[in-house]
Chains A and B, each alone.
Chain A
Amino acid sequence: MSLKSTLGGPGVACSAMRIRRLAAGEIAGEERARTEAHLAACARCQETERELDRERARLAADLPFDMLAAGVAERLARAPGAGTSRGIAERLGRVRGMRVLALALAAGVAFAVAVPAVLRVAHDRPSERTKGGAELSVWVRDGSGVRALAPGEPVPGRAALRVGLSPAGRRFAAVALVDADGAVILHAGAAEPGVLPGAFEWTGSGEEGTLVLVLDDTPIDAAALAHRLAHGGPDTAAPGDGADVLVRPLRRGAR
């Protein structure tokens, strides 16, 4: 028995792309009226419209905006010849004629693009702790959206945090959270510029804590780092003379 397959394709007046363009607001005037009239009477195009709804739901579940923006920013920062983060933003702004930086800050792409510009003052002892421009940043999402946590600003209760870093050419990084309850390693591995994967909420009991970034050219022993931090505090973070350590104090806001 043979089975004829049409493989799909456009119909006389049906087109998935036209429905997409309608949904994206790209069709206007008579064409819009004609497309809407067709859609109202066409079961095939109504199914396409439902499929677009399912696509949107899937996107929201699998790839929310924050995640996409962070991934985009990471890729931009990693690209060969990307230059400085500020340079990326300036170049994009010049080429595109768009308010990239403002957009980035509002929408979260600043995770990598604008982090250094915003957070150069984020750590409290730069002259003692940094070499070559390495940076540690903290991003917070609360009721007002995604933004950089300002130096000295309390961490809002139940806020989701993400850590960004600029490794300044170092190959390996470890990030730890230290507070009255001890120390925990948030990340240990390759030092990639941008925001570390995974948001977290600081749920410890103390009112003050510290984020510690260790950068080195050799792999960092996470267990040993946690042990040193738990027993000696941030001052003992460096595994040796060759490592860079950045410290970012955290203060808890109202829970």
Chain B
Amino acid sequence: MARFAVIPGGRAGASGPLPSTGEARGGTLEELYRCHAAAVYARCRYLLRDDEAARDATQDVFVKVLRGAEELAAATSPAALLLRMATNHCLNLMRASRAAWRGEIERIARERSVRGIEPDARELVRALLGVAPAEAQEIAVLYFVDELTQAEIATESGRSLPTVRKRLREFLAAARGALAEALPALVLPDPEELP
């Protein structure tokens, strides 16, 4: 039998710097990868909680980026745009498996009651996204995970500031409703006090 050695990871060889094309910001796949892929992959892992699914989602996001290159070229912040694209892509995937997503709050409550593990803020946000209206989900990620101010979210998402405030209120209201049963001891911030 012919002999060959499989190289783990499906890579064509050892990792290392690839030749630079010298293209401007956002202009090449390699450049986009170097600047933004880590954030995109991390966002996909955070939301999907599955490495394989996150790898697929990251590649899907980069395909969308290449197809929407005019939007990328016009973006004030490619980093913010790519993260938003990753967030929305993953949220769409998660909506398709809503049943499993909703179980997250019960899992967190179980870990707290059985093992005494207090929920990490971002993990809690992720779980609570499942009970929030679709329109509020992206806004919640932008605010609680990306840590944009409400004014920055309005600019970034093209929504009005009152709409952003309304979506955050919707998210927190839905979150309170879900936590009242699963984690009644947890007190969420007052939306009027959010910066």
Question: Would you call the interface of chain A mostly helix, strand, loop, or mixed?
Answer: mixed
Is there a chain B Cβ closer than 8 Å to A141's Cβ? yes
Size of B's binding interface in residues, CB under 8 A: 74
Interface bits B31-54 vs A (CB < 8 Å: 1, else 0): 001011111011001000001001
Q: Are A108's CB and B12's CB within 8 A?
A: yes
Is there a chain A Cβ closer than 8 Å to B118's Cβ? yes
Residue ID in chain B nearest A12 by CB atoms: B195
Of the listed residues B51, B55, B73, B79, the one surrounded by the most CB atoms of chain A closer than 10 A to its CB is B79
Q: Which residues of B contact A (CB under 8 A)?
A: 1-7, 9-15, 18-21, 23, 25, 27-30, 33, 35-39, 41-42, 45, 51, 54-56, 58-60, 62-63, 66, 69-70, 73, 77-80, 83, 118-119, 121-122, 124-125, 128, 143-149, 152, 175, 185-189, 194-195
Interface size class for chain A?
A: 35 or more
**A60 CA / B33 CA spacing, docked (Å):** 11
Beyond A65-B18, A72-B66, A177-B2, whether A8 also contacts B11 by CB under 8 A is no
Give the top 4 A-B pairs by smallest Cβ distance, nearest first: A141-B13, A160-B13, A71-B59, A141-B12
Residue ID in chain B nearest A56 by CB atoms: B38
Chain A residue numbers with a CB within 8 Å of B15 are 60, 64-66
Q: Are A146's CB and B18's CB within 8 A?
A: yes
Beyond A106-B19, A145-B19, A184-B4, whether A66 also contacts B12 by CB under 8 A is yes
Q: Which residues of A contact B (CB under 8 A)?
A: 1-12, 14-18, 20-21, 24-26, 52, 55-56, 58-60, 62-72, 75-76, 79, 92, 95-99, 102-104, 106-109, 139-142, 144-146, 159-162, 176-179, 181-184, 186, 197-205, 209, 226, 230
Pick from A7, A15, A108: contact of B121, CB under 8 Å: A7
